[in-house]
């Protein structure tokens, strides 16, 4: 099969290694696609065409010399603009960081480069990532390729739009409260938040030199955003693994990522399906699409599926307490003092709130309660299915809808299914479940037990084989 922008990363890398196509040819084609589409989508806030061509030429030179080449040889990709890239502007969607150029790469960027991947540039985010959408004070707003009047989600907004439109087959995102899974769901992609510690984080969440960016240590993950499960596994095989710069990183030799993503027989798998956690407001279209996807596990894949809920109470308030506790409030308040009149209002309100020690201890205790409910619940099941998001993609320039299925809700409560998994650290992936009647993507979340990453990938691959989605593209991308 000829290689084109519709090819997945695994196929592109194989073609480059076999010399059927050069890395420079792939990079040139990807850059042309960025030029054609990004004036509409605004996926890239800092394109790096010269760097892309240099990295691609280095791959071709290595292949010509017979030197070893990594598993992502020549594959174009995007890097979320909260992830540090040496000598490349990393704005974090913030006025204060509009000219910031890191002096070192994030660990995952080091590993992607070593694997032969070719960076097209930095992808757009909301300010410091404190949102689930794609607008900020310094860049044009990222829009959804499936409907440019709707949000692509966030905070890995640009990464979602870039992959969904075929500018690149894969991208890096980060997920402190759902930010890999949100845009992946809204854009019809695969997004994986591996178990806490599988993918090391540094320096973006751990370096005191970066106020605002340096935060969320016990919540944040970096993960793949792709069109296929095998590409997600391929990326994880590159970026996962311990590193001494991250004190929370764990060994990963118990996971063969590539093998885990091979389609497996799921017959007899014990599957829980929670359509609403027992308390969340969920859009009827989302319920319908995700309910149909859950039935695939029973009717097509032979799983034992039952509706059940973990039983924790809504931890929405506690999540934000954890975020505040892990935010550099001193540094961020200094930024607000200088730039607050230009910053996102809800972020300013969050930073300047009079946080109390009791807010933080209550958040920690609630997290413990959620973790305990979840591990006990997962003793009875191999995986847990939920909607990925409570609503389909919504309008631009709002933080979220305030009414879901007739219920008034807080603007961020459409994220009810995302942040509890950041609190527990469990592995979770979103895969395309189907579409609303108006043609907007809806994601299915697949959750594994503690360190159960292989189970998540196997279930995702089996569902992909039963209900394939790789040929579905937005009209804008054609």
> Mind telling me the catalytic residues?
80, 155, 179
Residues 6+ apart with CB under 8 A from 337: none
Q: Would you say 238 and 111 are in contact if contact means Cβ atoms under 8 Å apart?
A: yes
The tokens for 472 are 């579905």
Secondary structure in 3-state letters for the chain: CCCCCCCCHHHHHHHHHCCCCCHHHHHHHHHHHHHHHHHHHCCEEEECHHHHHHHHHHHHHHHHCCCCCCCCCCCEEEEECCCCCCCCCCCCCCHHHCCCCCCCCCHHHHHHHHCCCEEEEEECCCHHHCCCCCCCCCCCCCEECCEEEEECCCCCHHHHHHHHCCCCCEEEEEECCCCCHHHHHHHCCEEEECCCCCCCCCCCCCCCCCCCCCCCCCCCEEEEEECCHHHHHHHHHHHCCCCCCCCCCCCCCCCCHHHHCCCCCCCCCEEEECCCCCCCCCCHHHHHHHHHHHHHHHHCCCCEEEECCCCCCCCHHHHHHHHHHHCCHHHHHHHHHHHHHHCCHHHHHHHHCCCCHHHHHHHHHHHHHHHHHHHHHHCCCCEEEEECCCCCCCECCCCCCCEECCEECCCCHHHCCCHHHHHHCCCEEEEEEEECCCCCEEEEEEECCCCCHHHHHHHHHHHHHHCCCCCCCCHHHC
**What does DSSP say about strands 143-144 and 170-175: parallel, antiparallel, or unpaired?**
unpaired
Strand-pair partners of 123:
44, 80
Cβ contacts of 287 within 8 Å, gap of 6 or more: 275, 276, 387
């Amino acid at each position: 099969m000829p290689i084109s922008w519709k090819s997945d990363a695994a196929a592109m890398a194989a073609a480059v290694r076999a010399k059927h196509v050069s890395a420079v040819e792939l990079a040139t084609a990807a850059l042309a696609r960025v030029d054609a589409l990004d004036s509409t989508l605004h996926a890239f806030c800092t394109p790096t065409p010269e760097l892309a061509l240099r990295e691609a030429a280095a791959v071709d030179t290595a292949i010509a010399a017979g030197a070893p080449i990594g598993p992502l040889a020549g594959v174009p990709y995007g890097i979320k603009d909260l992830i540090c890239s040496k000598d490349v502007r990393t704005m974090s969607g913030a006025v204060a960081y509009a000219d910031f150029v890191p002096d070192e790469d994030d660990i995952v960027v080091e590993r992607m480069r070593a694997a032969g991947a070719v960076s097209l540039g930095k992808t757009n985010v909301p300010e410091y990532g404190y949102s689930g959408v794609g607008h900020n004070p310094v860049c044009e707003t990222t829009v959804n390729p499936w409907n440019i009047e709707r949000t692509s989600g966030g905070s890995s907004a640009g990464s979602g739009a870039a992959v969904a439109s075929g500018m690149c087959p894969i991208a890096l995102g980060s997920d402190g409260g759902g930010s890999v899974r949100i845009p992946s769901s809204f854009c019809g992609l695969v997004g994986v938040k591996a178990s806490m510690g599988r993918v090391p984080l540094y320096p973006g969440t751990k370096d005191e030199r970066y106020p605002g960016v340096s935060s969320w240590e016990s919540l944040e993950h970096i993960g793949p955003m792709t069109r296929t499960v095998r590409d997600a596994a391929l990326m994880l095989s590159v970026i996962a693994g311990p590193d001494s710069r991250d004190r929370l990183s764990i060994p990963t030799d118990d996971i063969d990522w590539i093998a885990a993503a091979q389609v497996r027989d799921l017959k007899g798998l014990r599957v829980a399906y929670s359509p609403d956690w027992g308390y969340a407001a969920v859009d009827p279209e989302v319920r319908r699409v995700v309910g149909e996807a859950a039935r695939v596990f029973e009717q097509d894949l032979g799983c034992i599926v039952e509706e059940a809920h973990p039983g924790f109470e809504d931890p929405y308030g506690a999540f934000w307490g954890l975020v505040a506790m892990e935010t550099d409030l001193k540094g961020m308040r200094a930024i607000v003092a200088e730039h607050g009149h230009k910053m996102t209002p809800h972020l300013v309100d969050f930073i300047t709130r009079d946080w109390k020690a009791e807010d933080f201890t209550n958040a920690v205790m609630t997290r413990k309660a959620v973790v305990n409910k979840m591990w006990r619940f997962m003793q009875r099941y191999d995986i847990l299915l939920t909607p990925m998001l409570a609503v389909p993609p919504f309008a631009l320039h709002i933080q979220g809808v305030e009414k879901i299925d007739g219920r008034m809700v807080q603007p961020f409560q459409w994220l009810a299914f995302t942040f509890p998994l950041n609190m527990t650290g469990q592995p979770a992936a979103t895969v395309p479940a189907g579409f609303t009647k108006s043609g907007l993507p809806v994601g299915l979340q697949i959750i594994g037990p503690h360190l159960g990453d292989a189970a998540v990938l196997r279930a995702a691959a089996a569902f992909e084989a039963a209900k394939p989605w790789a040929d579905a593209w937005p009209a804008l991308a054609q």
